[in-house]
Structure 1
Amino acid sequence: MHKPRRLLSKAVYLFSIGGNDYIKLTSDPSIVLTPIDELKYVGMVLGNFTTVIKAIYNKGGRKFAFQNVGPLGCMPATTSMAPKNSTIFKCVEEPQTIARLHNTILSKLLERLAIQLPEFKYSLFDYHTSLAERTLSPFKFGFKIGENACCGSGRHNGHFTCGQENYTLCSNPGEHVWFDAGHPTESTNKQLADLLWSGHPNVTAPYTLKMFFEK
């Protein structure tokens, strides 16, 4: 094996895709999606994604790590715009639905690729569940605040105004799951990174990143 191809075969390729595609789609009130529309859109996103994966594989890539689409309906940016029908904090269902659809199809897609492509190995991290759990049950994971972002404005600090005029900034970001309207805090990301690196098989499987780098 030539040296460049050997290097490519030992490298680990990390992907996180889909979130921006779906959140922009579901946040536009003028767009009404049927289940068929959602399925077609997810198919388009993952079809393009598959093309990229196979191109890297054909160049020699063999170790691939993925995190699935996060809980789009739990982001402060999303929940800040939802009708307040209850005193109980809930994630918004429509963005959650398309995120779960993507994640289900992605999981099956990777299983097929592992069968079709010799030596193709992958790690799939359940980012969606891991971040949703911390948002809905922050105390369980060492946080004090799950629904409100540390920095921003509006309900749940869900407006992307951090660093601009008329925003608030918390004194201790480490107490929050979310830093701004769409991004977790450093403390949250540290927990999630640990799960990606060496999480339990029900969170990261069939390989972890640690396994990839040990081989």
Structure 2
Amino acid sequence: MASHHHRLHFSQLLFISSFLFFGLYVCFLPSPVAAQCKNPPVIFNFGDSNSDTGGLFAGLGFPVDLPNGRAFFGRSTGRLSDGRLLIDFLCQSLNASLLSPYLDSLSESKFNNGANFAVVGSSTLPKYVPFSLNIQVMQFLHFKARTLELVTAGSGNFIDDEGFRNALYMTDIGQNDLADSFSKNLTYIEVIKRIPSVISEIKNAVKTLYDHGGRKFWIHNTGPLGCLPQKLSLIQLLQKKDLDTYGCISSYNAAVRLFNEALLHLCQKMKSELKDATIVHVDIFSIKYDLIANSTKYGFSNPLMACCGFGGPPYNYNIQVTCGHQGCPVCAEGSKSISWDGIHYTEAANAMIASKVLSMAYSTPRTPFDFFCRS
């Protein structure tokens, strides 16, 4: 998926207000609610727009204008949502500061809480293009080397070697590899033939981080690509009749399921290969698909329609008039939409997704998120 992004500054006031706002979603949260840390972990994140907190805007200057950010930040922060992303809720559940994009040179952060290397539109392949997964890992290695130089020189409050070793390394990537393959009109068989190469890149990334001392890994699988209004609007143009019971594109989701199966297998294999590593696989697909399939149960309406988009029902998505551009209408604040802009999720949906992630029901092995707190 792709689009654009921006940046984020946090003050204590923002954090307190975020906490109050988080209370609005307490009804969504299964019982052991938020994992709380006395000592939040350092967090490094790698991925695409699902977890980009402003990397595209900081790195390439792509504008991400209001109404992005309207629900929580009251301004655009470069996130492709009306508010917080899943990663923001996960950080808050650990009492951790929200992550600044690595590329944001004007960030108030000294990155002593970690850094976010995720950038909108990123994929694993092709390699060596901004900002493929292997580039993000290379950026991390540069960041680590430079930070440790500063620590050795006695500079400021930077992450030390132990901080890198005990950090939590999060990954959420692969969606664009599949989406890009389908958008090139590859057949279903051709798309799934590419899956092993994508999985191999994720393995390389985790292995590299492990070889450089990382021991705690949290890996998200990919959501239901075939339920995105953007994809559905394009299929509609092609007059394809490949929809499941809930109106999602069956072949797209079948490919995603195969990818996710391979990713789970990889995580289990790496657990035995990478001694003393904790590797948790989180089934984001099941959470998001359940949210769409049972939207009314969760208080959402029109699960396949973008809140911020153009064209009206059934999908309210037009590739010529996308969210944040002039002339693109947006639904009223407080509307219970799942899809924000046809590709990304609303803050309300992300809050619900976060509550399910924190429940441990979708994690293999079932690991409480506060396991990653620093002792």
Q: TM-score, normalised by structure 2?
A: 0.52
Could you tell me which residue of structure 1 aligns to residue 204 of structure 2?
51
Does the CA-based 8 Å contact 1:6-1:60 persist in structure 2?
no
Cα offset, 1:151, TM superposition: 0.8
* In structure 2, distance between residues paired with 1:84 and 1:148: 18
| Structure 2 counterpart of 1:76 | 229
Question: How far apart are residue 12 of structure 1 and its match?
Answer: 0.3
Is 1:9–1:62's contact at 8 Å kept on the other side of the alignment? yes
Distance in 1 (alpha carbons) for counterparts of 2:259 and 2:210 = 22
1:32 is the counterpart of 2:171: no
Per the alignment, do residues 44 and 50 of structure 1 end up closer, same or farther by CA in structure 2, a change over 3 Å counting? Answer: same
Q: CA deviation at 1:143?
A: 1.4
Does residue 143 in structure 1 map to residue 304 in structure 2? no
What does the per-residue CA deviation read over 1:136-173, in whole Å, with 9 as the maximum and x for residues that have no partner? 22111121231111011234123341122443311135
| Separation in structure 2 between the aligned mates of residue 123 and residue 58 of structure 1, nearest angstrom | 18
What do you get for the CA RMSD once the two structures are aligned?
Answer: 2.4
- In structure 2, do the counterparts of structure 1 residues 174 and 54 end up closer, same or farther at CA, with 3 Å as the change threshold? farther
How many Å separate the matches in 2 of 1:25 and 1:77?
Answer: 15
Identity %, equivalent residues: 26
Give the deviation of 1:4 after TM superposition.
3.8
Say whether the 8 Å CA contact 1:89–1:147 is kept in structure 2: no
Residue of structure 2 equivalent to 1:102: 259
Asked whether the 8 Å contact 1:65–1:209 carries over to 2, the reply is no
Q: Which of 186, 191, 198 is the equivalent residue of 2:347? A: 186
Equivalent position to 1:158, from 308, 317, 328: 317
The alignment partner of 1:156 has SS state of: coil
Shift of 1:89: 4.1
- On the 8 A contact 1:114/1:121 being kept in 2, the answer is yes
Q: CA deviation at 1:14?
A: 0.8
**Unaligned residue ranges in structure 1 (runs of 5+):** none
Matched AA of 1:204:
S
What is the distance in 2 between the residues matched to 1:25 and 1:84? 17
**Equivalent residue, structure 1, for 2:195:** 42
Structure 2 residue 179 is matched with structure 1 residue 23? yes
Q: CA separation of 1:84/1:102 partners in 2, compared to 1, >3 Å: closer, same or farther?
A: closer
Q: Classify the secondary structure of the residue corresponding to 2:286.
A: helix
2:363 counterpart of 1:204:
yes
**Letter in structure 2 aligned against 1:192:** I
Aligned partner letter, 2:345? P
Q: TM-score, normalised by structure 1?
A: 0.87
Aligned match of 2:133: none
Matched, 1:128 2:285: yes
- Greater CA deviation, 121-130 or 105-114? 121-130
> If each structure's helix is expressed as a fraction of its own residues, which one has the higher value?
1
Secondary structure in structure 1 of the residue aligned to 2:356: helix
Matched, 1:175 2:340: no
2:221–2:285 CA contact under 8 A, matched in 1: yes
1:32 alignment partner AA: T
Deviates more, 1:155-164 or 1:112-121: 155-164
- The aligned length equals 209
Question: Is there any run of 5+ residues in structure 2 with no aligned partner, and where?
Answer: 1-158
CA distance, structure 2, for counterparts of residue 195 and residue 61 of structure 1: 26
